[in-house]
Amino acid sequence: MKLHKSLLTWSLLAALVAIATVACGFNDLDPADAPTQVVLRPTAENSADQPSPTHTPVVSPTNSPPLPTYPEGTLEVHGADGWLNSDPITIADQSANGKVVLVDFWTYTCVNCLRTLPFLREWHAKYSDNGLVILGVHTPEFEFEEDYGNVQEALIRENIQWPVVLDNEYETWNSFGNRYWPAKYLIGIDGQLTYRHFGEGAYVEAEHAIRDALTEAGWDVSDIPIGKIDSATRDPEANRITRELYGGYERNYTQSGLYAGQEQYYIEPDSTREYLDDGNYTPQQWYLHGLWTNGPESIMHARSTDNLEDHIAFQFVGRSANVVVIPEGTESYDVYVEIDDRPLKPEEAGMDIMFDDDGRSYFSVNEPRLYAFLETPEFGEHIVKLASDSDDFAIFAFTFGINEGGI
C-alpha cells in the first residue's frame, strides 16, 4: 500500500507550483529534454517518499554499455501472485531445457507497452516452436491492475498467448533491478543476459538478438524471415509531444510532476474542492472545472450532474490522445470529448469513440483500461475537454502519440 506525503510537502509543493508557473514557465518545457524519472515503488523498506516507477520510454544509447553479469537466481521469477496462459514455470527450467527466454516487463494500461505488443505477437508466432519462450511479467502501476480478472481481460483483448506472471509486489521487478515499463531481457540457455532494451523501438535489433540466442542454443531459424519494420516513422516534430499527465497526487507531489495546473489541487490530499477553468492553459498540465476530489492515484469527479457542467481540460501537442479511466461503481458511464470547443469529427475519432444522435463524440467506460479517444489526421496543437455527468468518473493518466494508429 502506498502512503501519503505529509502536509508540509503539500505546502511546499503549492509554492513550487506558483513559482514554476510564474517564473520558469512550463510553456517552454520540451518533454524530450526532460530527464526520465527513475524511482522505486514504495515498500516497507524504501518508504513512501518515492513514487512508483514511470513507464516513460528510454532511448537506448547507440553504443550500449556491456551487459552486467547477474548472480545465480537473480534473473528468475520471485513471489508470483498468479499465472495466466500457463502453469507456473521457472526461467532456470526453461534454460535447462534448451529454451531462450524473453522476459517482458509490462502493465496493461501502459501505452508504451501496448505499442510493443504487435512485435511480441509476431515473435511468439514465429519462434515459440523454435526455442523461444516469451514470459510477460505484469508489474502493475495502478492498484486496479493488480486484479487477476482485469489482467485476464487484457490478455484476451490484446490477444496475448504467452505465459504471464502477476508481479503485484514487485519481487521479480526488484530481482532484475528493473526500473521501466516496458523493458525486455533476453536470457540464453546458460541463464545469463544476452540482450536488454528499455522502452519502445529497436525491434529489428531485438529480433536479431533473439535469433542469435536461438542459434547458439542449437535451434535452426535460418528459414524464418526476419521482420523488416522497426517502428513507425517518427514525426520530425515529435520532441514537442506532450508528456504523460497523471491525475493522482502520488505523481503530482514531485517537482518533475506538477501535472495539475491549479494551485488549490496542492493544498491538501484527498480533499474535495470547487475548481474554475478560466481558459488559460499552460502546456504539460491539466485543468479542472466544477467539483473534484484529488485522490492518490486519480482525480475524481465529486458529484453527479445533468448537463456536463464539470470537465477536465488541457492543451496538448501530438496526434493522438488516450486516457486511463475505470468504472468505480457497477454501472458504465459515458465521457464526452471536445476538441477546440467542438465535438470530434469522424476522422479525428479514436478507436473507442462513438457519436450520439446529436453528433456529440463520447466513449463509454465499462472496464478499467486505457481508452483511445482521439486520433487527428495530422500532428498539431489542440485544446481538449472531457466531461461526464457520473460521479464515478476517475482519471488516472493521459498519454499521447505521434503516429497513425492511436496508441
Q: What span, in angstroms and rounded, lies between the C-alpha atoms of 170 and 44?
A: 12
Which residues form the domain of 362? 241-401
Q: What is the spatial distance between Cα 363 and Cα 391, in angstroms, rounded to a whole number? A: 16
Whether residue 209 is found in the same domain as residue 311? no
230 pLDDT higher than 70: no
Residue carrying the nine cell digits 531485438: 206
Kindly state whether residues 127 and 83 are assigned to the same domain: yes
Q: What CATH number has the domain bearing residue 208?
A: 3.40.30.10
The answer for residues whose C-beta is within 8 angstroms of residue 122's C-beta and 6 or more apart is 227
Evaluate whether 198 touches 180 at the Cβ level (below 8 Å).
yes
> For the chain, how many helices (H) and strands (E)?
7, 17
Is a pLDDT exceeding 80 seen at residue 340? Answer: yes
* 7 belongs to a structural domain: no
Report the candidate in 3, 186, 191, 164 with the shortest Cα–Cα distance to residue 84: 164
User: Do 38 and 155 belong to one domain?
Assistant: yes
Would the pLDDT of 1 be above 80?
A: no
In the predicted model, is pLDDT for residue 260 greater than 80?
A: yes
Q: How far apart are CA 49 and CA 250, in angstroms?
A: 9
**Mean pLDDT computed over 113-117:** 95
Cell numbers standing for residue 11: 505546502
Helix (H, G, I), strand (E, B) or coil at 381: strand
**Least confident range of 185-194, 260-269, 323-332:** 323-332
The C-alpha atoms of residue 94 and residue 214 are separated, in whole angstroms, by: 13
pLDDT confidence of residue 227: 84
Q: Do residues 292 and 171 share a domain?
A: no
pLDDT digits (tens, 9 = 90+) for 274-307: 999 999 999 899 999 999 999 999 999 999 999 9
Confidence (pLDDT) at 61:
39
Query: Do 302 and 363 fall into the same domain?
Result: yes
Of 363, 355, 356, 291, the residue nearest 332 (C-alpha): 363
- Let me know if residue 192 belongs to a domain: yes
Instruction: Please report, for the domain that includes residue 376, its CATH number.
Output: 2.60.120.260
Residue 303 lies in a domain: yes
* Same-domain status, 256 and 226: no
Same domain assignment for residues 74 and 168: yes
Structural domain includes residue 20: no
Local confidence band at 330 (pLDDT 50, 70, 90 cut-offs): confident
Residue 17 lies in a domain: no
18 in a structural domain: no
Q: What is the DSSP string of 261-294?
A: -SGGGGSSTT-EEEE---S---TT-EEEEEEEEE
Strand segments (E) across 60-140: 83-84, 100-106, 132-138
What's the confidence (pLDDT) of residue 307? 96
Within a domain: residue 27?
no
| Across 82-103, average pLDDT | 97
Co-location of 106 and 48 in the same domain: yes
- Out of 25-39, 173-187, 327-341, the most confident range is 173-187
Centre a 10 Å sphere on the Cβ of residue 210 and count the other Cβ atoms it contains. Answer: 25
Residues 206 and 252 placed together within one structural domain of the fold: no
Last residue of a domain, one of 200, 234, 268: 234
- Considering the domain architecture, whether residues 223 and 323 belong to the same structural domain is answered as no
* pLDDT confidence tier of residue 134, bands split at 50, 70 and 90: very high
Q: How many independent structural domains does the chain possess?
A: 2
- Residue 13: is its pLDDT beyond 70? no
Identify whether 323 is part of a domain.
Answer: yes
Boundary-marking domain end, from 234, 251, 284: 234
In this structure, the answer to whether residues 227 and 311 fall within a common structural domain is no
Cα distances (angstroms) measured from residue 357 to each of 105, 354, 362, 388:
42, 10, 11, 17
Q: What is the pLDDT of residue 392?
A: 94
Q: Which of 218, 234, 250 is the last residue of a domain?
A: 234
Same-domain pairing of 212 and 89: yes
Q: Is the pTM of this model over 0.85?
A: no
Tell me the sheet residues that pair with 396: none
